[in-house]
Amino acid sequence: MKVLIPVEKNEGAGSKMCEHFGSAPCFAVADTVNGSFEIIANAGCNHDHGQCLPADASGAEKVDAVICKGIGGRAAAHLGMSGIDIYMASSAGTASEALELFKNGLLFKADLGQTCAGHGCH
């Protein structure tokens, strides 16, 4: 399974998670099956509130799930329509911590009621 994790900058698995999905400068892309891990730039990080397009943000990467601390309703809806699950990892500090929580089944799947109302929401 491929997962996408918003991060502040490219520091490998120790990259600090970004507080908000759409405005993350980078994404960690991890494959839980083959163990691959890479950091890619978020091509859509500079957008107006409510205008995040996850397909633009993640580029050509096809992912099965997103692990984040916060995400806007529009981005969450787009991901959901694409069959991509969203997991909340508010207690994780780094991409590797979030990934470990995910692998151990300790993250809950988010719904639209748990989305952010703005970029300053947390």
Residue 21's pLDDT is what? 86
Residue 20's pLDDT is what? 84
Q: What's at 46, amino acid-wise?
A: N
The most distant pair of C-alpha atoms in the chain lies apart, rounded to whole Å, by 36
d(CA 96, CA 90): 13
Alpha helix ranges (H) inside the chain: 54-57, 73-81, 95-103
**Residue with structure tokens 């890619």?**
40
Q: What pairs with residue 17 in β-bridges? A: 7
Fold designation for 2-114: Nucleotidyltransferase; domain 5 (3.30.420)
Residue 44's pLDDT is what? 65
pTM as predicted: 0.83
d(CA 116, CA 122): 8
- pLDDT digits 0-9 by tens, 15-63: 999 998 888 899 999 999 999 999 988 876 654 544 445 555 555 568 9
- pLDDT digits 0-9 by tens, 81-110: 888 999 999 899 999 999 999 999 999 898
Q: What's at 27, amino acid-wise?
A: F
d(CA 61, CA 41): 11
Angle at the Cα of 68 from the Cα atoms of 104 and 79, rounded to 5 degrees: 105
